[in-house]
Every structure is written in structure tokens, then in C-alpha cells.
Structure 1
Amino acid sequence: MIEARELTKRYGDKTVVDRLSFTVKPGEVTGFLGPNGAGKSTTMRMVLGLDGPTSGTVTVNGRAYGRHAAPLHEIGALLEAKSVHPGRSALGHLTALAQTHGIGRRRVEEVIELAGLQSVARKRVGAFSLGRGQRLGIAAALLGDPEVVMLDEPVNGLDPEGVLWIRNLLARLAAEGRAVLLSSHLMSETAQVADHLIVIGQGRLLADTSVADLVAASLGGVSVAADEAGRLGALLAGPDVTVTSTEGGRLQVTGLSAREVGRVAAEHGIALHELTPTGVSLEEAFMELTRDELEYQSAPVTGRTAR
């Protein structure tokens, strides 16, 4: 488990992470999302003790990373796939890491096979493609059989087979009871693998929720067909809820999830014929949530680009 409490990091007068609190729980894949410059990388570096917080705390399995006698058994991390001496082989790199924790050769061979690197295990890492470098970084993260796994953009450079491998690997790690923190800009992938989401912008927490709830809270809303649509609409209306009638007597509800609409209907004995989330994609919900938090705003693309 990773627990951050009021975690803050300042560089001079610039606050990069601002009183951030969250928990990455065992048995779940937690997506860590935010625009460029949101503070994700700084937060992950603080988890590993590479940067010290200005204030607040972050612990891994109840302790600061640096207080663990054998940290590779507690958390395995991939922050930068190319942070390996280019003259070493994949086997040599993993063996050196293993020796720092008394991990045997058999485990080194297991993670090489897990990452699909058997055919290049003795080749120099400097000649690896980005995708192979990612696989090596993931193998290193899993070397100590850790309870917590933290990966930053793990699918970068991977081909479709590699992306599927990552997807299945993350699901398996969570099913084994491990806590998984996944940082990614690929919303479609995150939507498929994440059980929970932590979204930050300009170092502050914007959302700590599930994929379904974040999408449901976006502008997409819920489409409802009911016997007493007018009465249901009046019951659902509120300060933060918009209810509009559509063709065929349906209701379009924004501001409530499908579960909340269904609960109100059940409490008042209103039969529903259809209850369909019309939510947007995770990417669209993310863009809506972080619209005011972007470090860089792109101009709209119109007409022909000047040469």
C-alpha cells in the first residue's frame, strides 16, 4: 500500500505538489492521471525517496521507502526505462540488482522469461529498442516479488502484443493482492485496466474515484425510459442536476450516475424500462476535469499551416 498525506513539494517559490493525499490499495490497479506538469513524476519520485517532500509524508507498506531494509521486496518501480548502463546486458543488469538483496539466479531467470527477453538477455542494453527497454524495466520492478508495483508510462514503445501483455500482467498483479500504481497518458488503456483513479492538476488532487464514477459525473449523463417520466424527472431535479425530456418520452439526466437514478426510481416505485449511461469516454471526462489545469494550452487548428 502507498499512503500519501498532505504531501507537498516546492522548488523555490514554485509548488509542484500541493497537499496531496491519496491511498493506493492492495488488490487494485490505480491509474495516476494528470496533464503534463501536474506533478505526477515528482510524486512518484517522493514515493521512492528520490526527492524529499517539503512537508507531508508518503509511505510504502507503513514506512518511508528509505526505512525498509530490503525495499525491492516492498515496491518495484519503473520510472525511466533507459536508466540502465548501456554496456551491460539485461542479464547482467538484473543480476547486479538481485545481488543487492540476496535474490537468487533463479528469480532473475524467471523475470527475464516473464518479460519475454530470453533471446536478448545477454545482449547490450544500449542496443535495445524502447519496447525492449520497457520490458527490462518491468522485469527489474518485479525482481523482488514486491507487494507494491509502480509503473510510469509502461506501454511506451510497445507493439500491440506488448500492450496486451502489460494489460494482462497488471490485472494478474492486482488479482494476486498487490497494490499497483499506473501513470499513463493513454486513457483507453487506463480505462481497460484501472479499478481506481487518482487525478491531479497543478499538484492538487482533482479526483479520487473509479473510472465509472468519473465518466458518470461528466457531461454524458444517463438516458432513462420510465412509465412516469415526468414524476421521475421532478424527483431527480436539483441544484447540480439537469433533467431534460427527449424524443419518445425519455429523460436525459446529467449530474447523477445510473446507480443514483435507479435508486430514486426504486424508492418511489417507478418502473424503469431502460437506464443507460450515456457518459463520455475516460479521455473526454479527463479533458473536462483538467481543462483549467493545463500547463500548456494549444491553439485550435484551423486552415492551412503556414510554411
Structure 2
Amino acid sequence: MIEARQLTKRYGETTAVDGLEFTVRPGAVTGFLGPNGAGKSTTMRMILGLDAPTSGSVTVNGKHYRDHSSPLQEVGALLEAKSVHPGRSAFNHLLTQAQTHGIPRRRVDEVIELTGLQSVAKKRAGQFSLGMGQRLGIASALLGDPATVMLDEPVNGLDPEGVLWIRNLLTRLASEGRTVFVSSHLMSEMALVADRLIVVGRGRLLADTTVDELVQQAGGDAVRVATANPAKLRDALAGPGVQIVGQAGSEELEITGLPARSIGTRAAEHGIALYELTTVKVSLEQAFMDLTRDDVVYHGTTDLEERAA
């Protein structure tokens, strides 16, 4: 379990993390989301004791990271996959970590097999592609068979097979009762694998929720309807909590607040023919963009926008 209490980090006049409070519980995959500059990496560094909080605290399984006698058995982390000596082989890199932390040699072979590194285990890490470097970093994180696994952008550089592999791995680790904390910019992956979400922006907590709850807060599912009599359908569906959007002269309406089944039933009761009745799901990406719109630090512009300015 990871617990942050009023966790704050300032660099001069810049506040990178601002009073964060959250709990990452075992037995679930918790996604850690936020725009660039939101404070995610700084938070993860403070969890591992690499940066000291300005105020507040963060503990892993009830202790500060520095107070654990066997830290690799408590927390396995991937923050920077390329932080490996380029002249050392993958096997020797893992073996060195194992020998300095009292981990049996057989565990090195186990994580090499688990991460699919068998064919490159004796090659120098400096020759690895981005994806193979990620696999080596994940192998290092799992070396101590830790109770808590914390990964920063673990699918970065992985091919589709690798993305599926890491998705299944995270789910399995959580099912074993471990605490799994994952930072990612890939909303599609978080929608598939995360049980809970912690969303931050400009160092502040924006949401501590589930994927479904966040999507519902963003408006939930909408229903697209096409009919020759949109005005009559509007009247038939009007009611508390129902929102109907459509353009003048168009046969199409977008409706929120009623499920497709209810819309179809009411249309039939009023003798209104429907040409289309489609549920349009709000994506996690759209919900995330809506939530963090005011907390994006780095904005890009297109050439056309620059010329217009």
C-alpha cells in the first residue's frame, strides 16, 4: 500500500506537487494520470526517497522507503529504463542487483523468462531497442518479487505483443494481492487495465476514482438518433436530466440522460420512426481531457494557429 499525506514538493518558487493525498491499495491496478508537468514523476521519486518532500509524507506498506530493510522486496520500480550501464549484459545487470540485495540467482533466470529476454540476456544493454530496454527495466522492478510494483510509462516503446503482455502482467500482479501503481499517457490502455485512477494536474489531486465513474462525470454515454420528425421526438423525450442536442434542419439528435432502450420505447409509443439508434460511449481520453483542460502546462499550436496569431 502507498499512502501520501499532504505530499508537497517545491523547487524554489515552483510547486511541483501540491498537498497530494491518496492511497494506492493492494489487489488492484491503479493508474496515475496527468498532463506533462503535472507532478507524476516527482511524486514517484518521492515515493522512492529519491526526492525529499518539502512537507507532508509518503509511505510504502507503513514505512518510508528508506526505512525498509529489504527495499527491493518491498517496492519494485521502473522510472527510467535506460539507467543501465550500456556495456553490461542484461543478465549481468540483473545478477549484480540480485547479489547486492541477497536475492537468489535463480530469480534472475525467472525474471528473464518472465519478461521475454532469453534471446538477448547475454547482449549488452547499450545495444537494446527502446522496447527491450523497457523489458529489462521491468525485469529489474520484479527481481525482488516485491509486494508493491510501481512503473512509469511501462508500455513506452513496446510492440503490440509487448503491450498485451504488460497488460496481462499488471492484471496478474494485482490478482496476486500486490499493489500496482502505473503512470501512463495511453488512455486506451488505462481504460482496459486500471481498476482505479488517480489524476493530477499542476501538482494537485483532480480525481481519485474509477474509469467508469470518471466517464460518467464527463457526461456518460450519449445516444445518437436519426428521425424524420426530430421536433416530435424532442417533445416525447423531454424531462428532468435529459439533454437533447441537434442542429436546425438536421434529422440527427444526440441525447444524454436516457438509455437507447428507453428512447426506442418512447419513440414507438408516439409513432415516431427511427432511422438510427446508436449508443456513443465517452472515451476515457475524452473524459481525461475534459477534467485536465485547465491544468495543461504545455500547450502546442499548429502552423495555422500561429499564422492566425
Same fold (TM over 0.5): yes
Map of 1:176 onto structure 2: 176
TM-score (norm 2): 0.83
Map of 2:2 onto structure 1: 2
Map of 2:293 onto structure 1: 291
Say whether residues 1:137 and 2:137 are aligned partners: yes
Tell me the amino acid that sits aligned with residue 142 of structure 1.
Answer: L
Q: Shift of the alpha carbon at 1:233?
A: 6.2
Q: How many Å separate the matches in 2 of 1:302 and 1:224?
A: 32
Correspondences of 1:1-307 after superposition (within 5 Å) = 1-223=1-223, 234=239, 236-237=240-241, 243-244=243-244, 252-253=255-256, 278-300=280-302, 302=304
TM-score (norm 1): 0.83
Secondary structure of the equivalent of 1:192?
helix
Q: How many Å separate the matches in 2 of 1:62 and 1:165?
A: 31
**Does the 8 Å contact 2:224/2:280 carry over to 1?**
no
**Does the 8 Å contact 2:77/2:151 carry over to 1?**
yes
Q: How many Å separate the matches in 2 of 1:50 and 1:190?
A: 26
Bigger drift between 120-129 and 37-46 goes to: 120-129
Q: How many Å separate the matches in 1 of 2:305 and 2:254?
A: 39
Secondary structure of the equivalent of 1:133?
helix
Q: CA RMSD in A?
A: 2.7
**Does the 8 Å contact 1:31/1:198 carry over to 2?**
yes
Q: Shift of the alpha carbon at 1:252?
A: 3.1
Tell me the amino acid that sits aligned with residue 82 of structure 1.
Answer: K
Q: Shift of the alpha carbon at 1:300?
A: 4.4
Following TM superposition, where does structure 1 have runs of at least 4 consecutive aligned residues deviating by more than 2 angstroms? 219-225, 229-234, 242-248, 250-254, 276-279, 299-305
Q: How many Å separate the matches in 1 of 2:280 and 2:25?
A: 29
Q: Any stretches of 5+ residues in structure 2 without a counterpart? A: 226-233, 263-277
Q: Shift of the alpha carbon at 1:281?
A: 0.8
Q: Shift of the alpha carbon at 1:279?
A: 3.8
Bigger drift between 199-208 and 276-285 goes to: 276-285
The 1:231–1:73 alpha-carbon spacing in structure 2 relative to 1, beyond 3 Å, is: farther
- Give the percent of matched residue pairs that are identical in Structure 1 and Structure 2: 66
Q: Shift of the alpha carbon at 1:59?
A: 0.5
Q: Shift of the alpha carbon at 1:223?
A: 4.7
Tell me the amino acid that sits aligned with residue 42 of structure 2.
Answer: T
Q: Shift of the alpha carbon at 1:142?
A: 0.4
